[in-house]
């Protein structure tokens, strides 16, 4: 048998020559190649710098004309009972106290109910009565009389549904499109996509009343996006942002020298390794320096008129949901793209009659004031206000023992269908989308999944949810994963 003959004799011979060459012969024969290596290295460093810029989102933009310039996203942590606020069910009231249908219990995922429960209709006393409000005729509970006055600005979605029935996973699923830690929040995606109009304030700001929600800071985290896109938590008392103030004895000019020195060192490192997180570090040092001037002015609500304070119910220097609503208006007024308000205390498994009444008194006036204030200032048309929670509440009663005994009765978690609303930002005012069944358990028509909601919010901001992607671990990721459809019915 003849010996094996290579099909690439020239390439094999060349490889053998290089392999057997001395170092001096290698440099002599490949001098131009080494120059090419050096040039490639320079190009790669430039490419790394460009990569760092792209990964901070500053070269991205809208895909179509935007209806909204900014978002104020109000999240009621713990999930209020939509059935007692916005989704009036007379049949449920008539059948209150009856054992719930088998299909509401058998084989269903419920957080705490363990025995087949009884149906629980909205209480019939005057405080819980529903009123048809405004020209739209939207039904809103008397628990929220101030919101009733702005009913014609609201766009209700009564058939939102989710995949998760426990708080932390449902919160992450609503706000990041995924039920576990590690994905960017919607505010971070918006920051990555279109940034801010104010270079002295963050793109994405978070304001919290009460305890931090179960999902923790993943609810405003940047996940695998560069950390420049994570939400920055502002506080109503003390330093608005931790460690923002200069230490005692340090002058602004001293801080400027420190920032410049650190910036130069970071720039050298960026040129060397091209890590986009170094770009984040540089920009965040600069942002922190500028915020030392811009944030105290922003947080000082003393300069608001007495009429504004009366409308919101705000008290300067205090920590309150009302103050945060006013700060949200001030933030978007200054070009901040995404403002997220979290209000804790809506997890009413028991004593819902008293506890729901108490919570609505805290938020009703400032939320309605926010909508009125934005409209008076001509800002509601391009500011999208979202009122949401991680899920809804069951039409069945939950008592302290997990059964249906109506003693200090509450409602369990409910993922099958619940109500949220939006206002401004290109949504239809005075509009209701979808309908639940007569007992408020499931969807009767026009269901909207969480992915559909997020796709619609991005669409109103001029972003195609299928095109806003980030490559991570070998594939392109997006807020809506591989799902989501824009809900065109709610867009004006």
- Beta-bridged to residue 68, according to DSSP, are none
On whether the CB atoms of residues 98 and 434 are closer than 8 A, the answer is no
Q: Which residue from 321, 419, 424 is spatially nearest to 372, judged by alpha carbons?
A: 424
Residue 344 to residue 365: CA distance in whole angstroms: 17
Range of weakest confidence among 62-71, 88-97, 287-296, 468-477? 287-296
On whether the CB atoms of residues 464 and 484 are closer than 8 A, the answer is no
The DSSP secondary structure of 151-208, one letter per residue, reads: GGGEEEEEEEE-S--SHHHHHHHHHHSSSSTTSPPHHHHHHHHH--S-TTS-SEEEEE
Indicate whether 64 belongs to any domain.
no
Residue 236 to residue 229: CA distance in whole angstroms: 22
More confident residue, 405 or 333: 333
> pLDDT band at 199, cuts 50/70/90?
confident
Q: Which residue from 116, 71, 63, 38 is spatially nearest to 467, judged by alpha carbons?
A: 63
Total domains, the chain: 1
Indicate whether 223 belongs to any domain.
yes
Residue 262 to residue 100: CA distance in whole angstroms: 65
Residue 271 to residue 42: CA distance in whole angstroms: 10
Phi, psi of 91 (to 5 degrees): -65, -40
Residue 456 to residue 63: CA distance in whole angstroms: 14
On whether the CB atoms of residues 389 and 75 are closer than 8 A, the answer is yes
The sign of the CA dihedral 18, 23, 28, 34 is positive
Range of weakest confidence among 226-235, 308-317, 343-352? 226-235
**pLDDT for 471:** 94
> pLDDT band at 51, cuts 50/70/90?
very low
Q: Is the pLDDT of residue 48 over 60?
A: no
Name 211's Cβ contacts closer than 8 Å, sequence gap at least 6.
Answer: 344
Segments forming the whole domain that contains residue 456 = 69-241+302-490
In the numeric block, which tokens belong to residue 224? 């695998």
pTM: 0.82
**How many Cα neighbours within 13 Å face the side chain of 275?**
11
The number of beta carbons lying within 10 Å of the beta carbon of residue 377 is 11
Indicate whether 336 belongs to any domain.
yes
In the numeric block, which tokens belong to residue 139? 């039904």
> What's the mean pLDDT in 199-226?
93
CA 64 to chain centre: 21
> pLDDT band at 197, cuts 50/70/90?
confident
Indicate whether 414 belongs to any domain.
yes
Q: Is the pLDDT of residue 264 over 60?
A: yes
Residue 459 to residue 185: CA distance in whole angstroms: 16
On whether the CB atoms of residues 171 and 155 are closer than 8 A, the answer is no
In the numeric block, which tokens belong to residue 378? 């001509």
Give the residue carrying structure tokens 């770009």. Answer: 279
**pLDDT for 270:** 73
> What's the mean pLDDT in 15-27?
52
Q: Is the pLDDT of residue 238 over 70?
A: no
**pLDDT for 14:** 45
Query: 402 burial class (0-12, 13-18, 19+ CB within 10 angstroms)?
Result: middle
The sign of the CA dihedral 113, 119, 120, 122 is positive
The sign of the CA dihedral 436, 441, 447, 449 is positive
411-461 residue pLDDT tens: 999 999 999 999 999 999 999 999 999 999 999 999 999 999 999 999 999
In the numeric block, which tokens belong to residue 279? 């770009």
Q: Is the pLDDT of residue 59 over 70?
A: no
Q: Is the pLDDT of residue 338 over 70?
A: yes
Going by the DSSP 8-state scheme, the letter that residue 121 receives in this structure is: P
On whether the CB atoms of residues 172 and 183 are closer than 8 A, the answer is yes
> What's the mean pLDDT in 23-35?
51
On whether the CB atoms of residues 463 and 194 are closer than 8 A, the answer is yes
Q: Is the pLDDT of residue 12 over 80?
A: no
The CATH number covering residue 93 comes to 3.40.720
Residue 65 to residue 69: CA distance in whole angstroms: 10
Specify the 3-state DSSP secondary structure of 251: coil
In the numeric block, which tokens belong to residue 361? 């008194």
The number of beta carbons lying within 10 Å of the beta carbon of residue 474 is 5
On whether the CB atoms of residues 426 and 68 are closer than 8 A, the answer is yes
> pLDDT band at 286, cuts 50/70/90?
low
Q: Which residue from 152, 144, 138, 134 is spatially nearest to 366, judged by alpha carbons?
A: 144
**pLDDT for 287:** 64
Specify the 3-state DSSP secondary structure of 32: helix
Query: What is the end-to-end Cα distance of the chain in Å, rounded?
Result: 81
Range of weakest confidence among 228-237, 250-259, 266-275? 250-259
Indicate whether 12 belongs to any domain.
no
In the numeric block, which tokens belong to residue 333? 């007024």
Indicate whether 251 belongs to any domain.
no
Range of weakest confidence among 84-88, 346-350, 403-407? 403-407
Indicate whether 265 belongs to any domain.
no
Name the packing angle between helices 31-55 and 252-273 (round to 10°): 130
**pLDDT for 271:** 77
Beta pairing, strands 338-344 & 392-398:
unpaired
**pLDDT for 88:** 97
Percentage of the chain surpassing pLDDT 70? 78
CA distances from 250 to 257, 263, 426 (A): 11, 19, 47
**pLDDT for 196:** 84
In the numeric block, which tokens belong to residue 160? 């939102």
Q: Is the pLDDT of residue 6 over 60?
A: no
Indicate whether 173 belongs to any domain.
yes
Average pLDDT of the chain is 85
């Amino acid at each position: 048998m003849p010996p094996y003959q290579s099909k690439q004799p020239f390439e094999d011979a060349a490889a053998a020559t290089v392999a057997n060459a001395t170092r001096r012969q290698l440099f002599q024969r490949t001098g131009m190649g080494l120059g090419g290596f050096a040039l490639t290295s320079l190009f790669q460093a430039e490419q790394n710098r460009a990569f760092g810029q792209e990964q901070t989102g500053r070269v991205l933009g809208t895909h179509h004309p935007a209806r909204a310039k900014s978002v104020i996203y109000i999240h009621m942590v713990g999930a209020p009972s939509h059935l007692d606020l916005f989704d009036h069910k007379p049949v449920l009231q008539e059948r209150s106290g009856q054992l719930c249908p088998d299909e509401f219990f058998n084989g269903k995922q419920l957080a705490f109910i363990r025995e087949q429960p009884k149906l629980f209709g909205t209480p019939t006393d005057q405080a819980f009565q529903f009123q048809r409000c405004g020209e739209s005729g939207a039904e809103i509970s008397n628990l929220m009389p101030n919101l009733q006055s702005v009913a014609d600005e609201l766009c209700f979605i009564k058939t939102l549904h989710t995949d998760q029935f426990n708080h932390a996973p449902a919160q992450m699923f609503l706000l990041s499109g995924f039920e576990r830690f590690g994905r960017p929040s919607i505010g971070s995606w918006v920051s990555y996509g279109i940034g801010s109009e104010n270079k002295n304030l963050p793109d994405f700001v978070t304001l919290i009343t009460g305890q931090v929600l179960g999902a923790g800071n993943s609810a405003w985290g940047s996940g695998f996006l560069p950390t420049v896109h994570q939400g920055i938590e502002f506080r109503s008392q003390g330093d608005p942002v931790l460690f923002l103030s200069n230490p005692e004895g340090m002058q602004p000019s001293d801080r400027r020298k420190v920032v410049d020195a650190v910036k130069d060192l970071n720039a050298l490192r960026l040129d060397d390794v091209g890590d986009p997180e170094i770009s984040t570090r540089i920009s965040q040092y600069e942002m922190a320096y500028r915020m030392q001037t811009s944030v105290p002015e922003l947080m000082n609500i003393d300069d608001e008129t007495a009429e504004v304070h009366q409308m919101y119910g705000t008290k300067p220097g205090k920590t309150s949901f009302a103050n945060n609503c006013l700060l949200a208006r001030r933030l978007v007024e200054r070009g901040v793209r995404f403002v997220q308000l979290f209000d804790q205390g809506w997890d009413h498994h028991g004593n819902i009659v008293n506890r729901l009444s108490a919570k609505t008194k805290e938020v009703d006036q400032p939320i309605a004031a926010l909508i009125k204030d934005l409209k008076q200032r001509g800002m509601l048309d391009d500011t999208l206000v979202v009122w949401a929670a991680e899920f809804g509440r069951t039409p069945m009663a939950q008592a302290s023992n997990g059964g249906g005994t109506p003693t200090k009765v509450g409602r369990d978690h409910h993922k099958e269908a619940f109500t949220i609303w939006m206002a401004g930002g290109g949504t239809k005012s005075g509009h209701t989308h979808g309908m639940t069944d007569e007992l408020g358990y499931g969807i009767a028509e026009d269901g909207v999944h969480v992915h559909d909601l997020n796709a619609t919010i991005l669409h109103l901001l001029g972003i195609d949810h299928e095109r806003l992607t980030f490559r991570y671990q070998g594939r392109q990721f997006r807020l809506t994963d591989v799902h989501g459809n824009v809900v065109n019915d709610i867009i004006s």
